[in-house]
Amino acid sequence: MKIPRLLLAAVLFLPVRHSFAQEVEYPSITFEKTTHNFGLFDREHPIQTCWFKFKNTGKSELVILSAEGTCSCTKAEASEKPVLPGQTDSIKVTFNGTGLRPGVIRKTVIVTSNTKEKTAYIYITGELVEQLVEERLQKSADGSKDSKEQ
């Protein structure tokens, strides 16, 4: 008879225990875009900046705990003030290609917040080139003018 009493106690206890459990209402972060492409940029203009706009689509205050690039060439800045449900804010991301070799870039920024997921990722891409085509063409045109003037 112990088994039926144990089963009866378990069946009676579960609904009571469940009724005390409250569902936590988390904030939710929704970015307008998760990737920004700087396109081509040259070594004369190696510092590129963009903003990632986001909205708190949850039901409680959103707090960005940190926003960090995965390398020293990528810095992110986020406000410390809470973002209320339905409100928007942005994260500033700066890539500094000073001293880097030309090439394609793809960098990650890790955004840590008080959402249920805790972590979100945003990305920057682009291509650092030695010199932009327009500048090469301009220098070439300037060079040909100089040779005609002589």
The pLDDT tens digits of the residues spanning 58-70 come to: 999 999 999 999 9
Q: How far apart (Å, rounded) are the C-alpha atoms in residues 47 and 101? A: 14
Q: How many domains does the chain have?
A: 1
Domain limits for position 57: 29-131
Cβ atoms of residues 93 and 122 within 8 Å: yes
pTM: 0.75
Q: Out of 39-43, 94-98, 135-139, which region has the weakest mean confidence (pLDDT)?
A: 135-139
The answer as to whether 14 is a domain residue is: no
Q: What is the CATH number of the domain that holds 74?
A: 2.60.40.10
The answer as to whether 22 is a domain residue is: no
103: Cβ contacts below 8 Å, ≥ 6 apart: 127, 128
For residue 38, name the pLDDT band (cuts at 50, 70, 90): very high
pLDDT on residue 16: 47
The answer as to whether 79 is a domain residue is: yes
The answer as to whether 138 is a domain residue is: no
The answer as to whether 101 is a domain residue is: yes
